[in-house]
Amino acid sequence: MALIVAMDDDETIRSLIVAALRAEGYKVLEAENGARGLEMVREHAPDLVISDVNMPVMDGLAMLKALRADHTIQAIPVILLTSLQEREHVRSGMTGGADDYLTKPLVFEELLQATAAQLDKHLMRQSAKDTAVDSAIDHALQEQKQQLIRVYEKRLLSELEGKWPTADTSTQDQKFANATVLFVDVVSFSALAEKLSTTELSQVVHEFYSNAGNTVYLFGAYHMQFVGDGLLTVFVDSTDTDTVNSGLRATKAALGLIDAAQRVQAFLVSHFPGRSLPRFEVSVGLNSGAVTLARLEEALWGTPQILPVGDTVSACLLLQKQASAAGWKIAMSATLLKAVSKHIKSGRHKRFSAPGRSSALKGTELLGLSL
């Protein structure tokens, strides 16, 4: 049972939050200010902290700063609660290490969804601790913080000051006129997390991501990072792989990832017999086009971060999501299909609606390589 510390000086709101969380089966401790809440966090080491920003004695931002400075509790995820009128608090909270924020008045369905999402991420991070996978997940979580800031910048438009990354850092970006983006997502991760213990889930995470990492690097991946439960990889043409273009190498890697998922499924059957576990399944999106690896100078962590950006990346993520919903294992864009069509076996073709885009995404189901 997950333990949550909820902080809010408004007793009515705090009581509603606690009641909603307990109704979902969570164990909840409550505090009326940040100072008392921080004491509870240090004493009980909860799985999640939910905190209002404006509180007496110690506000939510000060509490967050103290939490992140304490190495014994700094990895605990934090969701901040604030109002849309307190936009500077939102920005300060996200750059200060918050994992998510919700605006008041609260929609309790959104609160429960955000809580479940952060607990899932925290579980994945804990299960991979002290391993090579842990390092990759830490990197992915840092990237997610930057992506969240970008989302909030766009949501609040010109009302939030400043844009990121700045023009001063753009000269250090790596720009590729034609690269291939691969995104693989473990679609059954949440279902497996419900059935397996943290130790068992850690074994599954090790098994897949060690296979996945070996596969993408075998085919010459240039950049790799974790995004949520998925893995984002960029392939570029280079001198040591000039006999096989980036599109075909990424295509072969995608097929290799499906094989890796099948090996993990066999691992589940052999190591957890009779458990009636969900199948270990992944889906893959492939797209090609212009990609920029943006170098982001991030003051909080002290080291630059690399973030793949551009429509090619966004379209790849959307294509994977839509194709997964359609039951496809691998979907490639029409752009990539033109480059590798003579080398592959294709299946269904479909125009996928893409929320937020002016036109549909044309996708083709990848079945295998032609002989």
pLDDT one-digit tens code per residue, 97-133: 888 888 888 888 999 999 998 988 877 766 655 555 5
Residue located via tokens 């849309």: 84
Q: Mean pLDDT score of the chain, rounded to an integer?
A: 84
**Six-digit token string for 58:** 């110690």
Q: Which carries the bigger pLDDT value, residue 161 or residue 328?
A: 328
- Give the pLDDT band (50/70/90) at residue 197: very high
- Maximum separation of any 2 CA atoms in the chain, in Å: 71
Alpha helices in 279-358 (DSSP H): 311-325, 334-340
* H-only helix segments in the chain: 11-23, 34-44, 60-69, 87-95, 108-127, 132-156, 167-170, 189-195, 198-218, 246-271, 311-325, 334-340
Token pair listed for 241: 């792989």
- 347 and 364 Cβ atoms separated by less than 8 Å: yes
Q: Is the pLDDT of residue 158 over 50?
A: no
Cβ contacts of 314 within 8 Å, gap of 6 or more: none
Q: CA gyration radius for the chain?
A: 22
Residues 149-160: what's their mean pLDDT?
Answer: 52
Predicted confidence at residue 30, as pLDDT, reads: 97
B/e letters for 160-181, b = 16+ CB within 10 Å, e = fewer, are beeeebeeeeeeeebebebbbb
Q: Which residues contact 24 (CB under 8 A, 6 or more apart)?
A: 112, 115
Alpha-carbon separation of residue 12 from 5, 15, 352 (angstroms): 16, 5, 45
User: In the structure, what pLDDT confidence band is assigned to residue 258 with cuts at 50, 70 and 90?
Assistant: very high
Q: Give the model's pLDDT for residue 165.
A: 45
What's the CA gap between 329 and 161, in Å, rounded? 42
Distance, in Å, from the CA atom of 231 to the CA atom of 229, rounded to the nearest integer, reads 7
Cα–Cα distance, 250 to 219 (Å, whole number): 7
In the predicted structure, residue 305 carries a pLDDT above the cut 90: no
Mean pLDDT in residue range 162-175: 59
Q: Work out the average pLDDT over 211-236.
A: 87
CA 196 – CA 193 distance, rounded (Å)? 5
Highest mean pLDDT: which range of 145-149, 172-176, 224-228, 231-235 = 231-235
Q: What is the pLDDT of residues 71-94, one digit of tens each?
A: 999 989 999 998 756 666 666 777
Measuring CA to CA, which residue among 82, 90, 81 is closest to residue 50?
81
In this predicted structure, the answer to whether residue 207 has a pLDDT above a threshold of 80 is yes
Q: Among residues of the chain, what percentage have pLDDT more than 70?
A: 82
Question: What are the pLDDT digits (tens) for 320-371?
Answer: 998 899 999 999 999 999 999 999 999 999 998 877 788 889 999 999 998 6
On the 0-12 / 13-18 / 19+ scale of CB atoms within 10 A, 272 is: middle
Tell me the pLDDT tens digit for each residue of 10-63.
Answer: 999 999 999 999 999 999 999 999 999 999 999 999 999 999 999 999 999 999
Instruction: Tell me the residue type at 285.
Output: G
- Could you tell me the domains of the chain? 3-127 (3.40.50.2300), 167-369 (3.30.70.1230)
The whole-number pLDDT of residue 154 equals 58
What pLDDT, on a 0 to 100 scale, did the predictor assign at position 371?
Answer: 60
116: nearest Cα among 172, 191, 173, 174: 191
Q: 303 pLDDT exceeds 70?
A: no
- CA 90/CA 311 separation, integer angstroms: 27
Between 276 and 132, the higher pLDDT residue: 276
Lowest-confidence region among 147-151, 186-190, 318-322: 147-151
191 vs 49, 160, 316, 330, CA distance in Å?
A: 24, 38, 24, 21
Angle between helices 108-127 and 132-156 (to 10 degrees): 150
d(CA 326, CA 134): 32
pTM higher than the cut 0.75: no
So what's the pLDDT on residue 124? 72
pLDDT at 103: 85
Residue 301 confidence (pLDDT): 45
Residue 98: the pLDDT is 85
